[in-house]
Amino acid sequence: MTATLSFTHRFQPASAAGAAPLLLLHGTGGDENDLLPLGATLSPGAALLSPRGQVLEHGMPRFFRRLAEGIFDEDDVRRRARELGAFVGEARRHYGIGAPVAVGYSNGANIAAALLLLQPEALAGAVLFRAMVPLSQPPAVKLTRQPVLMLSGLADPIVPASNSAKLCTELTEAGADVTHTTLPAGHQLSQADIALARDWIAGLPQAIAA
């Protein structure tokens, strides 16, 4: 299902009660269809909201511009995070859903982390697969125990361990309830990632699911 909102997207309504909606944020080169099967696996029956990134890099959709591998255009990060937060608000009103839990992979995880730091009220929590620090000087923000699961890869050639550790520290110091696990994997997702994320989502407080 799609609608004319500020992002091209897919929406699948909930088919079961008691599950928090998921905001699915794809990696570079993905689109609004990519993470729908993952979302259905992670939280069967949950409402799924999956936007397409509005930046193109050599024809590949992304959620914000980068200057080089691992070097972000931070002005664009801030702008695109604001736009994504506005879209989440539009979609919540249009579809009648609660604040979603973001599930982001790579570039999608990075914009989810930026959204947590810039507009924390837009999200009920986040699963960050292979995330990096999105802003070199993050704003002062209170995340009031928002649940965050970070899953990093020990052999990830793109995200240095020091970078993911720094993001974990920033979110924790901002007040988030962060679980950070490093798996024996690279940048791609593994079955262990999926199993851990599924169990974590299933264990979210009932207040978030409501």
What residues act catalytically? 106, 156, 187
CA 183 to the chain's CA centroid: 18
DSSP state of 20: -
Are 50 and 11 within 8 A, CB to CB? yes
Cα Dmax for the chain? 43
φ, ψ at 6 (rounded to 5°): -75, -15
DSSP state of 40: H
Give me the residue label for tokens 């697969």.
129
Tokens representing 94? 């249009």
Beta-strand pair 101-105/22-25: parallel
Alpha carbon of 138 to those of 52, 74, 119, 123: distances in Å?
25, 10, 12, 17
φ, ψ at 95 (rounded to 5°): -100, -10
